[in-house]
A and B are shown apart, each in its own frame.
Chain A
Amino acid sequence: MSRFTKIALIGLILFPFAFLLMLSVGRQWPYPAVFPEQWSLGNWQLVLVGSEGLGNSVLLSVLLSLSVATLSTGLSFWVSRHIAYHPKREAWLSLAYFPYVFAPVILAACLQFFFIVAGLYGTFGGVLLAQLFITFPYGVIFFSSFWNERLRSMEELVKTLGGSTLQAYAKVLVPVAKGALMTCFFQLFLISWFEYGLTNLIGVGKVPTLTLRVFQYVNEANIFLAALASCLLILPPVALLWLNRAVVFRERIAP
């Protein structure tokens, strides 16, 4: 690949991000100007520390996605093991596909009644639980191909060597599954981070995640704030992607 092609490709990939960043610091952009007429960090100041409260949305989204990804990764890892070794494995696994039969919004509409009765409607806990309905089965499907007879034998071996079930998890299964756990965590974080339909319906606007804020600004035709919120939206996944790649790559090249 020539140097020019490389630069062109990198430019092509980076262009949407650079464009969003430019929009977020722009003001007054009348047609046919190529660039905005005014440049200012005012939008950033306004939304991060001002009354827009986008800073709170960032924190809320990070907290929600970290909670959802952690809970569903751990839970699906444990449950998928039991399903994998169950005599009726296929039947249990087919249940995991059930939430994907519906669109998230339809699923939310079905769950709505139960969430209202349980007092979870419009709460952080409600949105977290609703997202688990999607991420947990995804995790179960993700890990279903991970378990095999070899791992089962290792687990049995730990027991005959004197280890408890907890020790088998802590000292063998989790370290062996480290790469898969990280990949699953990352994917579930992304699903939660960009989730819109369920969060909007169950949260009824009282749980304003960053994704909801982006849609809100787009609906208001506020391109500068929408661009700014989009910039914030892609930062944590990029950081997580870098971390994931760094750790998994380091593991793969380790002796």
Chain B
Amino acid sequence: MLDIKNINKKYKGEAVLQDLSFTLKAHEMLSILGRSGSGKTTLLKVLAGLETADRGQLLLDGQDLSPVPANQRGIVYLYQEALLFPHLDVFENVAFGLRLRHRPEAEIKKKVNALLQRLELPEQARKMPEQLSGGQRQRVAFGRALIIEPRVLLLDEPFGALDTETRRSMQQLLKRVSKDLGLTAIFVTHDLKEAMLMGDRLGMMQGGQLKIYGSRAEFIADESTGAREEARFWTDLHDLKLTK
């Protein structure tokens, strides 16, 4: 379980994260909705160990993460861009984490092939990143993260650069893989529908503060999430269509 207590972070005197506290249960995906500049990325970078918090405590399964460097936390941070290593093919990109750990070749082959199968990429194994579509690249990026069985997966608007259709299929794929592998993850997005679709629990970030909702109904009831406005828009549109 990830337990975050009173995290604070300032940049040039401006508070980016303010007394931020929440818990994330094992095998749970928390969706955090927030506009640009709300502090979502900073929160993820602090959790990953890429930024340090000014104050507060980070506990993962009871272990204090503050003194633990990023490469020993077991928390993988995925960017909006797939960031595949351009000199490695799909197989080697996915195998990257295992090679860092000097795992035996037989184990690498077995695990990578199994994961490529799960991510519907077996035909692409020997292709280079520039030969892949946007969706395929993002799937390889997932594979590269999942192969090392991270304790927590942090996803920073991973589908932001994809077209609508690809985005939908990627959301379904991640949802399915997450359920199958029992992932513990934080999914950050500025897309309301995506947040609601992906998260087991929902949160809203505004001005460096995070509010976690007890239920979906509570999230929808809060005017600041924009869920009610969105629902009203579609209802009005539907009514307008019926009356014409």
Contacts and interface: CB of A to CB of B under 8 A. Distances in A.
A161 B128 contact: no
Contacts of A222: none
B81 A176 contact: no
Interface in A183-203: none
A109 interface: no
B132 interface: no
A159 B79 contact: no
A154 B78 CA distance: 10
A255 to B, nearest CB: 6
Which 4 A-B pairs give the minimum distances between C-beta atoms? A159-B70, A175-B87, A161-B97, A160-B77
Interface in B36-81: 48-50, 69-77, 79, 81
Given A156-B77, A160-B48, A167-B100, 5 more contacts: A153-B79, A153-B81, A159-B69, A160-B70, A176-B87
A161 B144 contact: yes
A111 B73 CA distance: 49
A178 B148 CA distance: 27
Nearest to A167: B100
B148 A161 contact: yes
B128 A157 contact: no
B83 A157 contact: yes
A216 interface: no
A172 B85 contact: yes
Contact of B71 (A153, A154, A164, A175): A164
A255 B87 CA distance: 10
Main secondary structure on A side of the interface with B: helix
Interface residues of B, number: 28
A162 B97 CA distance: 7
Contact of B101 (A160, A162, A171, A172): A162
A36 interface: no
B30 to A, nearest CB: 18
Interface in A143-170: 150, 153-154, 156-164, 167
B97 A255 contact: no
Contacts of B131: 255
Interface residues of A, number: 19
B101 A159 contact: no
B85 A176 contact: yes
Interface of A: 150, 153-154, 156-164, 167, 171-172, 175-176, 178, 255
Contacts of A255: 128, 131
A161 B75 CA distance: 8
B86 interface: yes
A37 to B, nearest CB: 58
A175 B88 CA distance: 9
Contacts of A176: 85-87
B186 to A, nearest CB: 13
B159 interface: no
Contacts of B69: 159
20 contacts: A156-B50, A156-B77, A157-B77, A159-B50, A159-B69, A159-B71, A160-B49, A160-B50, A160-B73, A160-B75, A161-B96, A161-B100, A162-B71, A162-B72, A163-B71, A164-B71, A176-B85, A176-B86, A178-B87, A255-B131
A156 B81 contact: no
Interface in B69-116: 69-77, 79, 81, 83, 85-87, 96-97, 99-101
B50 A162 contact: no
B145 interface: yes
A41 B100 CA distance: 57
A158 to B, nearest CB: 8
Interface string B109-125: 00000000000000000
A178 B50 CA distance: 26
Contacts of B87: 175-176, 178
A161 B96 CA distance: 8
Contacts of A161: 71, 76, 96-97, 100, 144-145, 148
B81 to A, nearest CB: 7
Nearest to B101: A162
B40 to A, nearest CB: 16
Given A175-B87, A176-B87, A255-B128, A157 B79 contact: yes
